[in-house]
Structures are given as structure tokens and as C-alpha cells.
Amino acid sequence: MKFLIAVDGSPASARAVELAGQLLRGQSDPQVVLVHCVPGMSGDLFVGPDAVYRFQEESERLGRAILEAAADRLGQPRPPVEPVLRRGEPGREIVAEAERQRPDLVVVGRRGLGRLSSALLGSVSAYVVEHWRGPVLVVQ
């Protein structure tokens, strides 16, 4: 069984990883794809190329650390893990990676911002549920 788990370093993301790890225990041939999305820089910012490069390097370094920490949360025995770092809007990037990987289940955390906050800020988990054609587990 193959799970794609979206991670962002939040407590909701940690709970999603832990639950997915529990669900995978005892499965034959478990596989995990961990996906973290780093933000792109807006073209509206007036910064030099050095600042853009430093921002990208730092966001990728942080993203790799988030992926490593998530892999450690899967528990033992740890299934094979493929860490994936993508750049862009998280909902779109998670769905794009799911289309590429074709997992049996996509697992995302939900921060529980409430209706008003979700409507104003958008919701990654809602985007994934709406746009991915396969099963999605949303963990609070």
C-alpha cells in the first residue's frame, strides 16, 4: 500500500504522519511519499538576485528538515520513504505529486481554522479533497 503524506511541520501535519504510520503497520509492501511544498517568491517583490537565492536556499533547507522529522514520526518499523520537495502553492503541488505518484491514499492534516478563516485564507486540505480523484484522509 502506498501513502502520500503532505507535511508542513505543523502539529496537524505531525498527527497526520503518526496516524498514517499506524495505518501502514502490518500492511504488505508499505510505501510512503512525504511531500513538502516551499513557497515561491512573488514577482512583485523588488529584491536582488542574491536575496532570492538566499530565500530559496533557506526554504529548501527548512523543507528538507521538515521531511526528515516527518519520516522519523512514522514509527518503527519504518516503511520505505521517498521525500519530495516541491515549490509552489501547496494544494496544487500536492495534487500534482499525487497524480505523478498514484498513491492508494493521500493523507493531509487540517489545522482547524474554522469556517471564516478557511474561507478567507483558503484551505489546503479542502483543495486536495476537491481536486484529487482518489481517496483522501484529512486528520485534525
The set of cell numbers assigned to 2 is: 502506498
pTM equals 0.87
Q: What is the CATH number of the domain that holds 67?
A: 3.40.50.620
Bridge partner residues of 87 (DSSP): 38
More confident residue, 52 or 23: 23
The pLDDT assigned to 39 comes to 81
The pLDDT assigned to 40 comes to 74
The set of cell numbers assigned to 71 is: 519520516
Tens-digit pLDDT profile for residues 60-115? 999 999 999 999 999 888 899 999 999 999 999 999 999 999 999 999 998 755 55
- Count up the domains in the chain and report the number: 1
- Nearest CA to 66 among 113, 11, 104, 106? 11
Domain region containing 124: 2-139
Read off the amino acid at residue 32: V
The answer to whether residues 89 and 41 touch, using CB atoms and an 8 Å cutoff, is no
- What is the C-alpha separation between 32 and 11, in angstroms, rounded? 19
Chain centroid offset of residue 99 CA: 14
Burial 52-83 (b: 16+ CB within 10 A, else e): eeebeeebeeebeebbeebbebbeeeebebeb
More confident residue, 59 or 117: 59
- What is the C-alpha separation between 113 and 109, in angstroms, rounded? 12
